[in-house]
Amino acid sequence: MGGVVDCDTCHNPGLPKLTEIPLPSGMSHPVAGFEAACMTCHQGRASTVTIENAIAGGSDDVINAELRFINPHYSVAAASLLGSTGGLGYQYPNKTYEPRFAHARPVSSCTSCHDPHNLTVAEETCTTCHQTGNSREIRVSRMSYDGSGNLNQGIRRDIDTNRQRLFVLITDYAREVAGTPLVYVNRHPYFFADHNGDGKPDQREGASVSYASWTPRLLKAAYNWKFVGADAGIHVHNPHYALQLLYDSAEDLSNALGRELTDMKR
């Protein structure tokens, strides 16, 4: 019958002929062999450019009735792997971001870790250098990014903690600055109005009310929050890019809320 992903998706005879793929940022990235299939499907559908075009120079904290949430898409592993080389997270002006994550060789491509047919990770590859094959327990930095000071926990814990902190700032900003509380539900369009603050989407004529009080500042942060969460393996693919996106988004919202950003590190 065929589907979104079938045999021909990866075994198409034309794939090895591709030398680069276009990205939503307008950039192109070189690919080798069947990496083209992985990079094409897992690059997401939006970028810094997409967000900038949507906000079109609007004031950071002024609601734009035309704005709607922009979803980076699902399983954006290639987007996070490429980092600033692809520009697919929202990258704040005058900030520098981690480029494509260059893992130690021979881990240099998608299939270096993933079985191409079932996508399982070959943990024995990890244990060549690391003490564990559980990627969530691997730490790739001697710096604590979540303020815990715990350098024994996996870098994934730092990412998860800072992403939770960013979401608190998103909800506080929506309520205090945009003037309309929001709630997240894991279905399109993801963010919904919650005027009564009961933690559930408002209802109108039997349907959930989409969030419509977007400001440019709120959209940028929400996009990055969703982007980091859209790659379950971002702690392996490009952990520092994830931490930079989270920090810059949190810093921007904190400034608007008149708060000092504590504990989080870039």
- Candidates 228, 245, 225, 238; CA nearest to 81 is 238
The answer as to whether 265 is a domain residue is no
Say if 143 falls within a structural domain: yes
* The pLDDT of residue 3: 58
Predicted local distance difference test score (pLDDT) of residue 189? 97
Average pLDDT, the chain: 94
Scanning the chain, the segments in alpha helix (DSSP H) are: 7-11, 35-41, 48-55, 77-82, 123-126, 155-173, 216-229, 234-237, 239-257
pLDDT of residue 210: 98
Domain holding 200, by residue range, is 7-257
Evaluate whether residue 130 is within a structural domain: yes
Give the number of other Cβ atoms within 10 Å of residue 219's Cβ: 21
Query: Quick check: is 157 in a domain?
Result: yes
pLDDT of res. 1: 35
CB 84 within 8 A of CB 92: no
pLDDT for 34 equals 76
The answer to whether residue 262 is domain-embedded is: no
215-229 pLDDT per residue, tens: 999 999 999 999 999
Joined together, the tokens standing for residue 103 give 């893992």
246 belongs to a structural domain: yes
Among 31, 37, 133, 120, residue whose Cα is nearest residue 82? 31
CA dihedral 125, 240, 228, 250 (to 10 degrees): 160
Domain count, the chain: 1
Residue of 103, 91, 10, 16 lying closest to 50 (CA atoms): 91
Mean pLDDT over residues 35-62, rounded? Answer: 95
CA distance 103 to 238: 9
3-state secondary structure of 171: helix
Q: pTM of the prediction?
A: 0.95
Q: What is the pLDDT of residues 210-262, one digit of tens each?
A: 999 999 999 999 999 999 999 999 999 999 999 999 999 999 999 999 999 99
Query: What is the per-residue pLDDT across 2-22, written as a single tens digit (0 to 9) for each?
Result: 457 788 888 888 888 899 999
Query: So what's the pLDDT on residue 2?
Result: 47
CB 79 within 8 A of CB 43: yes
CA-wise closest residue to 236 among 153, 138, 151, 99: 138
* pLDDT tens digits along 98-121: 999 988 777 878 888 888 888 888
The residue ranking higher by pLDDT, 109 or 188, is: 188
Percent of the chain with pLDDT over 70: 98
Residue 2 lies in a domain: no
Q: What is the pLDDT of residue 148?
A: 96
Confirm whether 1 is domain-assigned.
no
Q: What is the mean pLDDT of residues 42-60?
A: 96
